[in-house]
Structures are given as C-alpha cells and as structure tokens.
Amino acid sequence: KLNKQEENWSMMEKKIQSAILAKTLPDVVNLNSNFGYLLTETNAWLNLDTILSDSVRNQYLPNFWQASQINGKSFGIPWYATTNITIYNSQLFQQAGLEQPPKNYSDLAEVAKQIKEKTDKYAFFISFLPEELSEVLESFGKMGVTLIDVDGKAAFNTPTGQAVFKYWVDLYQDGLLPKEVLTKGSQAGSDLYQAGEIAMLFSGSEVIGAISEDTPEIGQVSKPVSQITGETGKKSMMLMNLAISSNTKLPDRALKFALFISNNQNQTAFTQETNVLPSITQTLENNYFQSLPSNASTQDKARIISANQMLKAEVLLPQVKNLNELKQIISQNLQAAMLAEKTVEKAIADAAFEWDNLSGRS
C-alpha cells in the first residue's frame, strides 16, 4: 500500500528532520539537492549505487546525476530542475543604444552603466538579503571562485574571490544597483521589471508568461536569452531529487516507485504541465524542449533557451551543512563593504574567519 502525503515546503525541512530523529521518515522523499546533501550526514538516505544498475542510471543526464551525489555516493534520483534565464526589456535597451543583452558579468557591468546614463533606470535587481543570497553565491562559482574547500574551510579569500566581492561593491557604490537590493528580496526585482524600472530580470522561463498576462505592455517588449555567466561559462540550476529512506522496510518497492515517478513517460507529462525541466535525456530530447513551433510565443522561446542550458547546468551552491549560516556571513560582510563600513579586503577576510570559526575549523 502506498500512502502519499504532501506538505507545504515552508515546513518541510523541519518535518523531515523531525521524522529522521523519530525514525518515521517516508519511504520516498522529494527534496532539493542542497537539503539532500545536508541530511547525508545523518545517514538518512539509501545509497542508490548499491541497488541501481548502470543501464537505469544512464537514462538520466550525467550532470544531474553528479549533482545528486556527495562523496561519490548517490543519495537521490534526479527528478526535475529549474534554471534562470535573462529576460530583458528590448525597448529600454533600444533607448540606451544597446543592441544585445550581456552574456557575462563583465558585459553586465558595462550595460548597467550605459542603461543608467542613457535612461536613468537600473539594469537589474539582485538581492543581498541572507535568505535570498543564492544568486549572489552562484555568481562566485560562475566567476571561478570555490566558496568552500573539501575540508569545509573557506576558500573564497583569494584574489579572484576579492574581485567578485569588489565587483558587487563597485556596482552598488557607483549607483548602478537600486538601494533596495540590501533590504528587499527577489519579488522587488520582479515588481520593478513589470513597472518598467529595470531593464533585465533573472528568473525562470515560466515567469515570462506571467509578465505577459500581468503587464502586457512589458510582455510585448520582453525577450528571453541565456543566463548570465562568468569566464567559466557555468550555468546554475536548482535540482529536485527523490531520495529513499535508509530505514525503509520496502527498498525494492520504494525504488520502483521513485523510478516510476521519474520515468520518461511521466516526466514528459509532468514537465510540460508544470514548466519545469526534465532529468532524463530522452525527455529533454523531446521536440517540446528542442524545437520551436511555427507560431512560437515568447514563452516557447524561453523554454527552449532553458532546456539548452540543461546539458551543462550545475548546482553551484556549496555542499555544506550550514549553508544558511554561510549566506548570513557573506551577506553581512558584503553589505558592510557595499556601505563602505569595511574595505573589500577586510570584509572578505572577516567572512572567511567567521565561517572557519563557526564549527572550529580554523
């Protein structure tokens, strides 16, 4: 007998952690890869390498499967993913004398300067709040910075890491970012974009459809392009996994159910219904993700761009237990530098010191 239980994600992490302690964890759990990493320390999940054949594993995108491992062990079956793209206001770009949106962070800084000078508007919004710092943390990986080394120590206090700190500090101090980036979350960016006050929005492909419905005048001039990256060329994603409890009394049935949920047929139906991206190679090769219809909408174009990013997309957030604390530490020190309360060198050194002392790692 299979019992299916759905929970609000805002309470999910606490409920899963409580279930692990009480040994009442469901046989199969759907969770994001970063939370899955965290719980591997508790031996909560079955090591799938011991029960899965290579023929089954090879059905999934290799980079997705790699993102579902920690210390070489597979803790979950990759199910579906989301990835950001760049949505830009072509009308504002035209007013600024720009023909193409930026592809990397270096170009982004130049575009931000030109848009501000020509239109007196901001190019984009990115939140520096601790709870919404994922996009900023991902920028470190895209620009070639390892945040945490294999021993769990801070690895970002390097010349390259300082350059990333300085990149964001300079944008803010040069007046090229809204002051609200220090106090508001990503919803503020969406609101500003739909109000025509910023020229770019970094978000999932499904958002472009909502923009067209909510603010048709902005939707008509909105165009999708690939996600901003750095010199590494890396693109980020958020991956959801199906993990199997190590305490399950029905490992074979649990595995069969997880593979059924994530098989090609079900992923094809699920991803098209929900505007997420599949983890199975065959599903991603479906025309729905590869070919534009003759009467392609902006939403169709955004979907194809997102799908094309999947073959090389990575989970760029570090596999660490105290990810929220890392976000808090970097946010506080980066904001201090942006507000000229600390130098870049002092801010990044303090952040590294605080992280290494969090659990006595220094």
- pLDDT tens digit sequence for 167-186: 999 999 999 999 999 999 99
Own/partner pairs for 344-349, CB < 8 Å, 24+ apart? 344/162, 344/165, 344/166, 344/169, 345/162, 347/165, 348/156, 348/157, 348/161, 348/162, 348/165, 349/157
How confident is the model at residue 116, as a pLDDT? 99
Q: What is the mean pLDDT of residues 112-118?
A: 99
Return the DSSP state at 228. P
Which two three-digit tokens encode residue 176?
């090229």
Cα dist. 241→6, 186, 267, 278 in Å?
15, 24, 13, 11
pLDDT of 362 higher than 60: no
pLDDT of 114 higher than 70: yes
Return the DSSP state at 48. G
How far is it, in rounded angstroms, from Cα 141 to Cα 121? 28
Q: What is the mean pLDDT of residues 14-30?
A: 86
CB half-sphere exposure, 70, CA atoms < 13 A? 22
How many residues are listed for the chain in this entry?
362
Q: What is the mean pLDDT of residues 230-249?
A: 94
**pLDDT 10s digits, 27-51:** 999 988 888 877 777 788 999 999 9
**pLDDT-based confidence at 165, cuts 50/70/90?**
very high
**pLDDT 10s digits, 287-310:** 999 999 999 999 999 999 999 999
Out of 22-31, 37-46, 90-99, which region has the weakest mean confidence (pLDDT)?
A: 37-46
Instruction: Map out the domains of the chain with their CATH numbers.
Output: 9-82+238-314 (3.40.190.10), 84-234+323-358 (3.40.190.10)
**335 in Cβ contact with 182 (< 8 Å):** yes
Question: Which residues are bridge partners to 218 per DSSP?
Answer: none
Q: What is the mean pLDDT of residues 147-171?
A: 97
18 vs 200 pLDDT, higher one: 200
- H/E element holding 111? helix 105-119
**pLDDT-based confidence at 96, cuts 50/70/90?**
very high
* Coil, helix or strand at residue 31: strand
pLDDT of 10 higher than 80: no
- 84-89/235-236 β-pairing: unpaired
Out of 56-60, 67-71, 99-103, which region has the weakest mean confidence (pLDDT)?
A: 67-71
